[in-house]
């Protein structure tokens, strides 16, 4: 067992790697009545090509299978649903799948250890049959159609499609109606047995609890018949530097056009602390230049070109990264033109050191407040951990960033060559 103490945050983190490879983390929060646990696997919608456990040949599975698998894990061999027992314990449970991770979680104020035992147990006992797989296809097909009619989702996902040529991030997490109807129980078991291996998984717990009892509960409910797989062979296509297409425009039921301007990262391959530094540096740039209260935002707002929906955000991982700036506007193309004029102005005039220091201090203060939210701690810890980043390092990396880091990242990332625009216009 290891113990990490962060003096400035006044937080402790306990860590243990169990014999089967499962990583167990616990952050004590004395005096908190709420407890939170998340059981996650390094497996998401991007993992389409791999060598299944016990096999020698590389396969490609159907798009959307990671999300499909998440749905099916809740269905138990005795015909019950995993949610039922959480309700009995008074716990609130959920799950999610993104491009790189699948997580199962619950929060509680009572019966925590019973709920934790249930979480560990049900995630390890999948039950797939031809009948229940076919039944699920109709449910997920309806979910996919619902997202196809969601303007916010469409404008976001079309930005990814415009930016990425080969990377599977340009494929919808839920897949397509056509792809999910091809999924079989055998394919689900191939994915489950490969990626839901303890060596590929982590549990994070936060609350006013006892680490020894957490560990005992987890060990008592772990399957002992799963072979340890230290390395999963995954395959991803090599993404070219350019963008797929400069713009995608659709029409849906919206009152004002929705838009996203996307900046694709060309220089990738960072991990750990370096990746975290890039993320924070880019977020600081977005905060200084484009978010509410910035000079650029006020100019657009006063000219009635944007409203309160205007925002910016950065997402980065080892093999991809992108900035999105968007919202609602009567003229997205005018916003784009002004955005690039502003970018060129900043490249000529430079950044204001005083503004940089103010934003940096605000980031540090805001980060400290986040540690009052157990949901934030748990889900962000897992997200960062799967990028080989310790969440507790965040505040130290913020303090390290200089104005020169900001300047260099701005010139490198915010260019016309790596830019796309996605627009959802109102129907006539």
Q: Which of 201, 50, 187 is nearest to 128 (CA)?
A: 187
User: Token pair of 200, please?
Assistant: 């590929």
Q: Give the position of tokens 């936060």.
A: 206
Q: Are 236 and 404 in contact (CB under 8 A)?
A: no
From residue 127, how far is each of 65, 74, 140, 199, 309 by CA, in Å?
Answer: 15, 9, 18, 21, 43
Q: Are 236 and 168 in contact (CB under 8 A)?
A: yes
Residue 199: DSSP 8-state: G
Residue from 12, 19, 23, 70 carrying the catalytic annotation: 70
Rounded distance between C-alpha atoms, residue 113 and residue 276, angstroms = 33
Q: Are 336 and 421 in contact (CB under 8 A)?
A: yes
Q: Which of 287, 323, 289, 293 is nearest to 308 (CA)?
A: 293
Rounded distance between C-alpha atoms, residue 20 and residue 378, angstroms = 22
- The strand order across the sheet containing 102-108 reads 2-6, 11-17, 23-28, 201-207, 35-41, 102-108, 92-97
Q: Are 93 and 82 in contact (CB under 8 A)?
A: yes
User: Token pair of 240, please?
Assistant: 């070219």
User: Token pair of 233, please?
Assistant: 């062979």
Q: Are 69 and 256 in contact (CB under 8 A)?
A: no
Q: Which uninterrupted H or E stretch holds 114?
A: helix 112-123
Q: Does the annotation mark 279 as catalytic?
A: no
Rounded distance between C-alpha atoms, residue 260 and residue 253, angstroms = 17
Rounded distance between C-alpha atoms, residue 126 and residue 74, angstroms = 8
Residue 388: DSSP 8-state: T
Q: Give the position of tokens 């006013």.
A: 208
Rounded distance between C-alpha atoms, residue 275 and residue 267, angstroms = 11
Residues annotated catalytic, as ranges: 70
């Amino acid at each position: 067992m290891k113990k990490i103490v962060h003096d400035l945050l006044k937080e402790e983190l306990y860590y243990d790697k169990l014999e089967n490879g499962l990583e167990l983390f616990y952050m004590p929060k004395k005096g908190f009545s709420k407890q939170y646990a998340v059981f996650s696997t390094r497996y998401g919608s991007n993992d389409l090509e791999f060598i299944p456990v016990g096999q020698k040949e590389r396969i490609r599975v159907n798009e959307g299978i990671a999300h499909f698998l998440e749905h099916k894990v809740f269905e138990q061999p005795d015909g019950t649903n995993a949610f039922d027992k959480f309700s009995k314990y008074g716990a609130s449970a959920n799950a999610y799948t993104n491009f790189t991770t699948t997580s199962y979680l619950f929060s509680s104020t009572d019966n925590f250890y019973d709920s934790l035992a249930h979480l560990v147990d049900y995630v390890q006992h999948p039950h797939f049959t031809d009948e229940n797989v076919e039944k699920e296809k109709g449910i997920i097909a309806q979910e996919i159609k619902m997202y196809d009619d969601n303007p916010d989702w469409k404008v976001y996902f079309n930005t990814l499609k415009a930016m990425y040529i080969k990377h599977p991030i340009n494929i919808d997490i839920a897949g397509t109606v056509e792809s999910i109807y091809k999924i079989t129980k055998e394919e689900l078991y191939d994915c489950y047995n490969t990626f839901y291996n303890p060596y590929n998984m982590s549990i994070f717990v936060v609350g006013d609890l006892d680490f020894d009892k957490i560990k005992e509960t987890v060990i008592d409910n772990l399957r002992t018949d799963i072979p340890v797989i230290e390395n999963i062979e995954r395959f991803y296509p090599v993404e070219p530097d350019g963008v797929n297409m400069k713009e995608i425009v659709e029409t849906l039921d919206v009152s004002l056009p929705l838009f996203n301007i996307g900046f694709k990262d060309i220089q990738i391959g960072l991990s750990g602390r370096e990746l975290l530094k890039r993320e924070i540096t880019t977020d600081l740039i977005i905060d200084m230049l484009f978010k509410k209260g910035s000079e650029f935002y006020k100019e657009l707002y006063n000219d009635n070109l944007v409203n309160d929906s205007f925002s910016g955000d950065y997402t980065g991982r080892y093999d991809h990264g992108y900035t999105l700036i968007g919202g609602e506007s009567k003229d997205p193309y005018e916003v784009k033109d002004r955005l690039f004029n502003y970018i060129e102005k900043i490249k000529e005039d430079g950044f204001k050191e005083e503004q940089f220091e103010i934003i940096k201090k605000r980031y540090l203060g805001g980060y400290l407040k986040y540690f009052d939210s157990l949901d934030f701690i748990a889900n962000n810890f897992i997200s960062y951990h799967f990028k080989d980043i310790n969440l507790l390092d965040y505040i130290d990396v913020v303090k390290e960033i200089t104005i020169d880091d900001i300047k260099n990242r701005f010139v490198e990332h915010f260019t016309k060559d790596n830019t796309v625009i996605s627009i959802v216009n109102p129907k006539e």
